[in-house]
């Protein structure tokens, strides 16, 4: 009997909450409409005080929302996944929790509406930032703001577009700007930026056919099509270039093939072309040199995807197989071969599991010689990693991905130069990484990761034998 009495009361309570939220939302819409009419009625906008114009532009209460006003009954019958529908489905939830969920849902809707309004003008805007908490480490800092990235995309017409990614590093540890980008940006910064507090990670003009998506970085081969680009971009070598941005990476740190052999991620100025047709995909590039300040680099990747290959997308279904081979030739200013980098990658997904593998080999054609004439031979390198991802959402009803990764780096030389030019001893390095990735929604992710070098080490300034990191990534 008590259950029968409580049920109507709970429904009435939910209806009151929904009515209150809808009234608040309608008031905001009316305020917006009044503001628009007020601005349209003024023929001389220059006469408006600058302070008032700035207030109007930055007032967080004025948010575009052109959705039709829904009745209370319609809101209660919203489809699963929407904020109000979720509240109605959970009649036992408290009123405070329901209000928070609804407000979060409204905020997400408003963000999407603003993005759609920008897209109508041909402009796509998005970005992210990350905050890190670490165990004791070589930077002597436990908390750090990693990187802030703003991505801009502009479509001029059906075939021409432009994209850019602007990155600002937090440098909470106050290290020298010559330090690796991963250290300068909080231990998990974007590949391809290099040393420095702020930089243009990506900026290019694009000509495309059959595919009008122009992501500045990330999973550029999701759609069938053809692209030619000129400017600055991430080098499409192997597959980890798709994860240089923290919001795209499931783990926190990059695999050892990227952090060690690609200096945090190959990135250069030049031209590239990429595309996909049915099961085939390709990328070719010609850029400035990757291993020195003079010369050029040229290369590409050829890939074959079999089955339903969604592992490159943000979907939960990772089924499919893809493998590819990559090559990069680094030439000096006389066009003589300085380094040759070979890569092979293999990814397979089935059910809730996804396995990613990369192998890289760097052949050096010039000896490593110090200024004093000491010759340490040719610095050849071999590196590889295997990463296993497990999507646990189907088992625990929460969007959690567990991961484990093993990587190894084997340099032939036993000495090398650190970021500050100091001579340091280097050895074969192993790295075992485990962690979790929890996605609250499309805008907020929490990651937890622990890495152990399994007893291997170098004398580099910023080398950690064991490191635990918690990271929050906020997208906008």
pLDDT at 40: 64
* Burial tier of 156 (Cβ tally within 10 Å: 0-12, 13-18, 19+): exposed
* Spatial CB neighbours of 36, under 8 Å, sequence gap ≥ 6: none
Q: What angle do CA 428, 246, 461 make, to 5 degrees?
A: 35
* Burial tier of 473 (Cβ tally within 10 Å: 0-12, 13-18, 19+): buried
* Spatial CB neighbours of 409, under 8 Å, sequence gap ≥ 6: 256, 257, 260, 261, 381, 382, 383, 428, 429
pLDDT at 355: 96
Separation between Cα atoms, residue 302 and residue 237, nearest integer Å: 10
38: left (phi over 0), alpha (psi -120 to 50) or beta: alpha
pLDDT at 324: 96
Instruction: Quickly tell me which residue has 């053809």 as its tokens.
Output: 226
Please state, in angstroms and as integers, the Cα–Cα distance from residue 29 to each residue in 66, 68, 107, 264, 432, following that order: 8, 10, 14, 46, 53
Blockwise average pLDDT, block size 10, the chain, 476 residues: 46 66 70 69 49 40 38 38 41 55 63 62 82 89 87 89 88 72 65 58 92 85 91 93 90 94 91 94 96 95 80 54 97 96 96 96 93 87 98 95 98 89 93 97 95 96 94 93
- Do 268 and 298 meet the contact criterion of CB atoms below 8 Å apart? no
- Do 398 and 438 meet the contact criterion of CB atoms below 8 Å apart? yes
pLDDT at 76: 36
Note the pTM of the prediction, 2 decimals.
0.72
Separation between Cα atoms, residue 321 and residue 305, nearest integer Å: 6
Instruction: Quickly tell me which residue has 């032939």 as its tokens.
Output: 412
Please state, in angstroms and as integers, the Cα–Cα distance from residue 291 to each residue in 8, 96, 330, 380, 402, following that order: 71, 57, 7, 13, 35
- Do 218 and 209 meet the contact criterion of CB atoms below 8 Å apart? no
Angle between helices 2-41 and 95-120 (to 10 degrees): 30
Instruction: Quickly tell me which residue has 């495309």 as its tokens.
Output: 208
């Amino acid at each position: 009997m008590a259950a029968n009495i409580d049920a109507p009361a709970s429904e009435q309570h939910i209806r009151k909450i929904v009515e209150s939220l809808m009234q608040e939302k309608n008031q905001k819409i009316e305020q917006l409409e009044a503001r628009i009419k007020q601005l349209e009625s003024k023929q001389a906008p220059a006469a408006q005080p600058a302070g008032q114009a700035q207030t109007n532009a930055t007032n967080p209460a004025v948010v575009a929302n052109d959705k039709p006003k829904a009745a209370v009954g319609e809101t209660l019958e919203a489809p699963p996944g929407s904020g109000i529908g979720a509240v109605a489905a959970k009649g036992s939830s408290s009123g405070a929790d329901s209000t928070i969920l609804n407000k979060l849902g409204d905020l997400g809707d408003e963000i999407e509406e603003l993005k759609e309004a920008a897209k109508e003008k041909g402009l796509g805007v998005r970005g992210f930032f990350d905050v890190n908490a670490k165990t004791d480490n070589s930077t002597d800092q436990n908390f750090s703001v990693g990187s802030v990235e703003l991505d801009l995309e502009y479509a001029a017409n059906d075939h021409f577009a432009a994209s850019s990614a602007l990155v600002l590093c937090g440098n909470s540890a106050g290290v020298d700007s010559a330090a690796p980008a991963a250290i300068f940006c909080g231990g998990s910064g974007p590949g391809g930026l290099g040393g420095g507090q702020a930089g243009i990670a990506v900026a290019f003009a694009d000509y495309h056919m059959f595919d009008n998506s122009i992501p500045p970085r990330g999973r550029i081969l999701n759609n069938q099509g053809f692209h030619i680009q000129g400017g600055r971009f991430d080098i499409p070598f192997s597959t980890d270039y798709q994860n240089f941005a923290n919001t795209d990476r499931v783990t926190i740190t990059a695999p050892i093939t990227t952090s060690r052999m690609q200096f945090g991620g190959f990135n250069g100025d030049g031209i590239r072309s990429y595309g996909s047709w049915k099961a085939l995909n390709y990328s070719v590039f010609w850029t400035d040199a990757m291993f020195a300040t003079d010369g050029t680099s040229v290369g590409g990747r050829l890939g074959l995807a079999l089955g339903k290959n969604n592992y490159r997308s943000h979907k939960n279904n990772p089924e499919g197989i893809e493998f590819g081979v990559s090559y990069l030739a680094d030439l000096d200013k006389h066009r003589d071969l300085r380094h040759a980098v070979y890569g092979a990658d293999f990814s397979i997904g089935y059910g809730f599991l996804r396995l990613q593998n990369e192998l890289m080999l760097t052949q050096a054609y010039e000896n490593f010689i110090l200024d004093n004439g000491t010759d340490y031979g040719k610095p050849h390198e071999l590196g590889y990693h295997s990463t296993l991802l497990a999507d646990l959402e189907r088992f625990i009803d929460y969007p959690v991905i567990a991961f484990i990764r093993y990587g190894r780096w084997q340099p032939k030389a036993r000495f090398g130069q650190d970021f500050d030019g100091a001579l340091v001893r280097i050895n074969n390095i192993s790295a075992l990484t485990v962690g979790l990735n929890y996605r609250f929604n499309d805008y907020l992710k929490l990651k937890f990761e622990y890495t152990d070098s399994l007893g291997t080490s170098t004398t580099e300034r910023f080398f950690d034998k064991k490191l635990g990191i918690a990271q929050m990534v906020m997208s906008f």
